[in-house]
Amino acid sequence: MKNTFFCIDGHTCGNPVRLVIGGAPTLEGDDMVQRRAHFERDYDWVRTSLMFEPRGHDVMSGTIVYPPTRSDCDAAILFIEVSGCLPMCGHGTIGTVTFLIENGLVRPSKPSLLKLDTPAGLVVANFEMDGEHVTSVRLINVASYLHARDLSIELDGIGEIRFDVAYGGNFYAIIESQANFRDMEDLSPTDIQRLSPMVRAKANEKYEFIHPLTPEINGLSHVMWTGRAKNQGSTIRNAVFYGDKAIDRSPCGTGTSARMAQLVAKGQLAIGETFVHESIIGTCFNGVATEATKIGDIDAIIPSVEGWARITGHNTIFVEDRDPLHRGFLL
Ligand code: PYC
């Protein structure tokens, strides 16, 4: 048995995006939460084959585009990553919009704007073009909020680590400067890969993280280490850990949304104020908390995040069962 997947590969501000444009399974469901559940139940091998080694790598991240389930959207996006099927992925959406538009694969119902149906909800993408190239994409992301303040866990060999948890399409532990952690520049990538899974496991053991309106979105999945900006013009630097070994090379779109929600809730960022988020490799997203809103009775913001993406190539990928490693592997 041989499956062939037609993909556009590229990156958003350094983090990989593999957009699957052919070969993906048809999914059932009235909305993207149900379609995501169908994919996870019957087709997770597509994700592991395309994201894990030897066809992918530890940081691989991708999307599959479907017809929308909502009449107000132009397209639906399923996020497939090394870590699973995220409800929402900002860098993945910026890359997907860029690749779709540059290849004429979707017709926007309004010029320079795509409305996207994601498992986390409606995401609006405004894009700018120079000739045939998309130069930037600004996402209006899902409502984001500070879920919990000043939680704590004990890390072996380090001691107490305190953190807030905010939601920006995924739940993030946000670790700021404190007694046992000064700045992310003190941590090597290996330190981040060693410490973050412990923070995540201990936090999920001790606390509960469930979206107030969509309980299918639950669990702390991402750990954000913060630090002083290095670039002139950046507000804050961050490194987001996800999956088993991945450190986001981009400033992380849902992480930037969560961070702005946290800062607004704590009175450290104003609505409308620019927030330039710097990644571990020095690339930036331009964020703004565009307006205050509510999720049920919880104070929240509508974040917008702007970044750029580039195509690196077209990739026809074979997944053939005569290859003993056709489902992919994690080291
Ligand atoms: O940009 O939202 C994001 C993201 C999530 C995981 C990696 N990147």
Question: pLDDT tens digits for 120-159?
Answer: 999 999 999 999 999 999 999 999 999 999 999 999 989 9
On average, the pLDDT of the chain sits at 97
What value does the mean pLDDT take over residues 179-208?
A: 98
Contacts 24+ apart (CB under 8 A), 173-179: 173/199, 173/200, 173/203, 173/220, 173/222, 173/223, 173/224, 174/224, 174/226, 174/258, 174/259, 174/262, 175/199, 175/223, 175/224, 175/225, 175/226, 176/226, 177/226, 177/227
The single-letter code of the amino acid at 75 is: A
pLDDT at 134: 98
What residue ranges line ligand 1, CB within 6 angstroms?
15, 61, 89-91, 242, 248, 250, 252-255
Closest residue to atom 8 of ligand 1, CA basis: 252
* d(CA 79, ligand 1 centre) in Å: 10
Decide if pLDDT at 105 tops 90: yes
* d(CA 142, ligand 1 centre) in Å: 14
On whether the CB atoms of residues 142 and 119 are closer than 8 A, the answer is: no
Percent of the chain with pLDDT over 70: 100
Handedness of CA 215, 137, 259, 245 (dihedral sign): positive
pLDDT at 205: 98
> Residue 51: which of 22, 8, 89, 80 has the closest Cα?
80
Pocket residue to mutate for ligand 1, from 12, 220, 250, most atoms within 8 A of Cβ: 250
Closest residue to atom 6 of ligand 1, CA basis: 89
Percent of the chain with pLDDT over 90: 98
Q: Model confidence at 228, in pLDDT bands (50, 70, 90)?
A: very high
Name the pTM for this structure.
Answer: 0.98
Pairing of strands 75-81, 113-118: parallel
Catalytically annotated residues: 89, 252
What value does the mean pLDDT take over residues 74-94?
A: 97
* Residues 4-14: tens digit of each pLDDT: 999 999 999 99
pLDDT at 109: 85
* Residues 229-256: tens digit of each pLDDT: 999 999 999 999 999 999 999 999 999 9
* Residues 106-122: tens digit of each pLDDT: 999 899 999 999 999 99
* Residues 198-207: tens digit of each pLDDT: 999 999 999 9
Tell whether ipTM is more than 0.95: yes
pLDDT at 27: 98
* Residues 281-294: tens digit of each pLDDT: 999 999 999 999 99
